[in-house]
Amino acid sequence: MMDAIDRDIINNLQGGFPLCERPYAEAAAGLGLTEDELIRRVESLLENGTLTRFGPMYHAERLGGALTLAAMKIPAEDFERVAKIVNGFPEVAHNYAREHQFNMWFVLATETPLRIGEVIGEIEKATGYTVYNMPKLEEFFVGLRFEA
């Protein structure tokens, strides 16, 4: 279970991890912890799934890559089969089941914008269902920091 120290780590280390020789020591000092304790806590938060990652969050489009959000309408009886096929594409970064006629929503991250269209075609061919491409036309805000 998470305790107050874990919460402190999560609430204060979602950004700004230092770029220096001993960043855990520096971050730990700000939290009133020792370097060893912070490393141990981060490791266990990763192990128990409270954190999905600890490190740099890259911005795909700024690296020359491309991102899009895509959705599919899959009949319930075929959902698991299609999910397996879709998840098998390395370009599929996240995939969520949602309660709606459009019940499968995934993010495609590719190294080139051209590749987005290719992958969508490949997914349609492999699954037999239409992929609805919903690329962002404009982004207004991305900045939620979760409170633990």
Interface residues for another protein in 47-66 (CB under 8 A)?
48-60, 62-65
Distance CA 93, CA 108 (A): 6
- Torsional class of 58: left (φ above 0), alpha (ψ -120 to 50), beta (otherwise): beta
Query: Closer CB to another protein, residue 9 or residue 33?
Result: 9
137 binds another protein, rule: CB under 8 A: yes
Indicate the DSSP class of residue 103: -
134 binds another protein, rule: CB under 8 A: yes
77 binds another protein, rule: CB under 8 A: no
Among 14, 31, 113, 115, binds another protein (CB under 8 A): 14
Contacts (CB under 8 A) with another protein, residues 26-45: 35, 39, 42-43, 45
Q: Report the residue count for the chain.
A: 148
Among 5, 25, 31, 85, binds another protein (CB under 8 A): 25
Q: Which residue has the tokens 């491309």?
A: 66
Contacts (CB under 8 A) with another protein, residues 78-97: 83, 86-87, 90, 92-97
Site string for another protein, 108-127 (x = CB under 8 A): -x-x----------------
The answer to whether the CB of 124 falls within 8 A of the CB of 70 is no
19 binds another protein, rule: CB under 8 A: yes
Distance CA 70, CA 145 (A): 24
Cβ at position 140, least distance to another protein in Å: 3
Q: Residue 107 CB: number of other CB atoms within 10 A? A: 15
The answer to whether the CB of 103 falls within 8 A of the CB of 97 is yes
